[in-house]
Amino acid sequence: MLDLKTVLTPERTLCRALGASKKRLFESAANLISENHSELTASDVFGSLLAREKLGSTALGDGIAIPHCRISQCIAAVGTLITLEEPIDFDAPDSKPVDILFVLLVPEEAQQEHLTILGGLAELLSNKEFCQGLRDASDSQELHRFAVEFRL
């Protein structure tokens, strides 16, 4: 079972954000991450997320996406949780717009860790109760608290 406390901090949790597009969301996530991790520049994070998304949509369906990439400057797994005020198109397999995103960065060489964390995130985000709790959060502090304290 994935413990979100290991990858997610309150500073990288954003509730009911305004998201005009995938690109804007990636910019917001990159800025949030680079503010807390001096080894990661916003432009490197943004470019890596965009390059990964060009390989295929990271949307899972049911309004959920897990944009993710491995990045050489990353020294440990870093997550950013974002819920949106209004869902946006994300080229999801079910064509539903996305309103919950968990952005994940891992070190370049951490292939197994990447897969393990992605699997844990997919399991959590496939739980209807978990997703409803994320959607019901009224602010970033409540969103973070719910996310890290939820147990399957």
Domain containing 135 equals: 4-149
Question: Mean pLDDT by 10-residue block, N- to C-terminus, for the chain (152 residues)?
Answer: 91 90 93 92 96 95 96 93 95 96 94 90 95 97 97 84
* Alpha-helix residue ranges (DSSP H) falling in the chain: 22-36, 42-55, 111-125, 128-136, 140-149
pLDDT of residue 92: 95
Q: Which domain CATH number covers 101?
A: 3.40.930.10
The pTM assigned to this predicted structure is 0.94
Q: Which class for 129: exposed (0-12), middle (13-18), buried (19 or more C-beta within 10 A)?
A: exposed
Question: How many residues make up the chain in this entry?
Answer: 152
**83 strand-pairing partners:** 100
3 state DSSP class of 18: coil
Contact at 8 Å (CB) between 64 and 100? yes
Interior angle at CA 92, CA 19 and CA 96, nearest 5: 70
Residue closest to 127 by CA, chosen among 103, 145, 104, 100: 100
Q: Which of 37, 68, 114, 144 is catalytic?
A: 68
pLDDT of residue 43: 96
- Domains held by the chain: number: 1
37 is catalytic: no
pLDDT of residue 152: 78
Q: Which amino acid is present at 64?
A: I
Q: Which class for 145: exposed (0-12), middle (13-18), buried (19 or more C-beta within 10 A)?
A: middle
